[in-house]
Amino acid sequence: MFYSIALILASVLVGVLGQLFLKAGVAKLGTIGAETLAHLPQLLGTIATNPLIIVGLACYGLGAAMWIVVLSRVELSMAYPMLGLGYVFVLLTSWLVFGEAVTPLRWAGALMIVAGVVLVARS
């Protein structure tokens, strides 16, 4: 069971890395609004050649492959709630890496998610 939990956590962490790379890649693009979308082919070309976005999408692919292995080993009702840890890790890394402001209410929500995951894992 320990191996399965480790694999779930690894899958979640790879997904979080994907989010971080996508955010960093999009930050280089700037805000995407109606004016940007009017030039959709150019935007898609810029996205498709942005190394940070490519790495982020690759992380998603790896995370999906890992998740398939998880689903072959663990009941969905036990594994799926653990994906909630992704929210917690993204909150923490957004705060640490990007310097995003995180309110006490968000921290409280993250703690509730962790408590829920612990309860599911212990069941």
Tell me the C-alpha to C-alpha distance, in Å, between residue 44 and each of 18, 30, 53, 61.
Answer: 18, 14, 11, 19
| Backbone torsions φ then ψ of 66, nearest 5 degrees | -65, -40
Q: Mind listing the pLDDT tens digit for each residue in 59-110?
A: 999 999 999 999 999 999 889 998 999 999 999 999 999 999 999 999 999 9
Q: Which of 116, 94, 102, 96 is nearest to 23 (CA)?
A: 94
Map out the domains of the chain as residue ranges. 2-122
In the prediction, which pLDDT does 35 show?
Answer: 80
What is the pTM (predicted TM-score) of this model?
Answer: 0.85
Q: Mind listing the pLDDT tens digit for each residue in 11-25?
A: 999 999 999 999 999
Position 53 confidence tier, pLDDT thresholds 50, 70, 90: very high
Residue 51 burial class via C-beta count within 10 angstroms: exposed 0-12, middle 13-18, buried 19 and up: exposed
How far does Cα 114 stand from its chain's mean position? 16
In the prediction, which pLDDT does 1 show?
Answer: 76
In the prediction, which pLDDT does 31 show?
Answer: 83
Residue 18 burial class via C-beta count within 10 angstroms: exposed 0-12, middle 13-18, buried 19 and up: buried
Position 40 confidence tier, pLDDT thresholds 50, 70, 90: confident
